[in-house]
Amino acid sequence: MPPSNGSSRPSFMKKSDATARGRNPNRKPNLVKESSHLLKIDSKSIENKHKKREVIKKQEKLKKILKNQARKQRRKDGVPAQAPITQEDKREKDDAIVKDEHVEEIKEEEEYDEFAEYFKSDVPPKVLITTAWDAMLNKAKVPGRTTRWFIKELLECVPNSSFFTRRKYYLKQIIEFCKKKDFTDILVVGERNSKPYSMIMIHLPDGPTATFRLSTTRTSKYISNRAKSSTYYPELILNNFTTRLGYRMARMFSAIFPQKPEFTGRRVVTLHCQRDFLFFRHHRYEFEDHLKSVRIQEIGPQVTFRLKSLQLGTFDTQFGEYEWFHRKELDTSRRRFFM
């Protein structure tokens, strides 16, 4: 039965106003073409803050669309992808950066530094791990749960390491005790709000002593698809240490791990330096398809170190001589790095 409005066509088959004007109602709007005038608007001249915020948001969205379209067009034209420009690419020139002609000089210096006896001998390292003085002054008699779990995973990661409760001993007393027991290194984990916050690394018997701030600590509990650690000695990878201070820190970390890795266990400890942050990762690799591909499985923990000071000799806050100390006056630019 025809509709009562006098038309012989049902309402759902009638043309819309947009189609009658020659437009397709189902077309996708061309945001770039219709909103290109937004880029000409100066947002600083808008006094209304709500209107100003709205215009800035639309401009950012339009710029993102234009950037994606330009990228797709470059791919169609066969233009090779450009390498991303990072802060390290814009790094300020520094005389401390080690060049190829300085490598032999540094190797000669390393033959007589504090780590020379360790690298020349075949004796594996022996590391003591304890907590900082703050853990004793806390209301709890033991460190926080996250700190205890972090220390447990450090014991699994660092071979030949042992944990001792701090009790009421001063750090100088602990250093003398470790020298008598033939320990090669001491790791002191400090905490804040029951979480790992700092670390003091002391190389025995003659130093040096490094103090770090821990900005990120993730235990294996929060790592998906994690693997279990083994008793094999890990392989150590040190990456992107470019200055003399960086070489010094890389040598200090390598003294904690045995110099004879056991590749049967497929364990790898990686220390990557980027913008003066030291990213510590512990994982293992597995070969697949008859050695054609490799799969990496993380073990944990994930730690990010930031060097605060490097002191000559063992820990001494009164008469110790600092080789390098971070101060606010050194942060003159975001592109100035020290390692």
Residue 95 domain flag: no
**What mean pLDDT is predicted for residues 67-93?**
85
Q: Are residues 174 and 116 in the same domain?
A: yes
DSSP per-residue letters across 192-240: ETTEEEEEEEEETTT--EEEEEEEEEE-GGGSTT-----SSPPEEEEE-
292 within domain boundaries? yes
Domain that holds residue 71: 17-77
Q: Which of the residue ranges 17-26, 74-83, 115-124, 197-206 would you say has the lowest mean pLDDT?
A: 17-26
pLDDT at 101 over 90: no
C-alpha–C-alpha distance, residues 132 and 187, integer Å: 9
Q: Are residues 44 and 132 in the same domain?
A: no
Task: Answer yes or no: do 299 and 150 share one domain.
Answer: yes
Tell me, yes or no, whether 22 and 138 share the same domain.
no
Are 232 and 321 members of one domain? yes
Measured distance CA(205)–CA(179) in Å, rounded: 6
Same domain, yes or no: 118 and 267? yes
Q: Are 150 and 285 members of one domain? A: yes
- 316 found inside a domain: yes
Same domain, yes or no: 70 and 107: no
Shared domain for 27 and 140, answered yes or no, is no
In the chain, the amino acid numbered 268 is V
- Mean per-residue pLDDT over the chain, rounded: 85
CA distance 185 to 125: 8
Residue 139: CATH number of its domain: 3.40.50.10480
Pairing state between β 209-218 and 195-203: antiparallel
For residue 5, tell me if it sits in a domain: no
Tell whether 153 is covered by a domain. yes
For residue 266, pLDDT over 60 is answered with yes
Say if 9 falls within a structural domain. Answer: no
Q: What is the mean pLDDT of residues 170-199?
A: 92
At position 145, the amino acid (one-letter code) is R
- DSSP secondary structure, 65-126, as one string: HHHHHHHHHHHHHTPPPPPPP-TTTTPPP-TTB--GGGHHHHHHHHTTSTTHHHHHS-PPP-
Percent of the chain scored above 70 by pLDDT? 87
Does the pLDDT of residue 284 top 50, yes or no? yes
Please report whether residue 252 resides in a domain.
yes
Give how many domains the chain has, as a whole number: 2
pTM above threshold 0.85: no
DSSP codes, 235-254:
EEEEE---BHHHHHHHHHHH
The reply to whether 88 falls in a domain is no
CA-angle at 98, arms to 95 and 100, nearest 5°: 125
CB 273 within 8 A of CB 240: yes
In terms of pLDDT, which residue wins out, 41 or 267?
267
Mean pLDDT is lowest, of 50-54, 93-97, 126-130, for: 93-97
Which of 40, 62, 77 is the C-terminal boundary of a domain? 77
Token pair for 88: 């390290």
- CA neighbor of 163 nearest in space, from 186, 146, 135, 196: 186
Q: In angstroms, rounded to a whole number, what is the distance separating the alpha carbons of residues 242 and 98? A: 6
For 127-178, how does the pLDDT look when each residue is reduced to its tens digit (9 = 90+)? 999 998 765 555 446 788 889 999 999 999 999 999 998 888 889 999 999 9
Residues 141 and 224 in one domain: yes
pLDDT at residue 12, as a whole number: 47
Domain identity same for 156 and 203: yes
Kindly state whether residues 274 and 195 are assigned to the same domain: yes
Q: Higher model confidence: residue 273 or residue 105?
A: 273
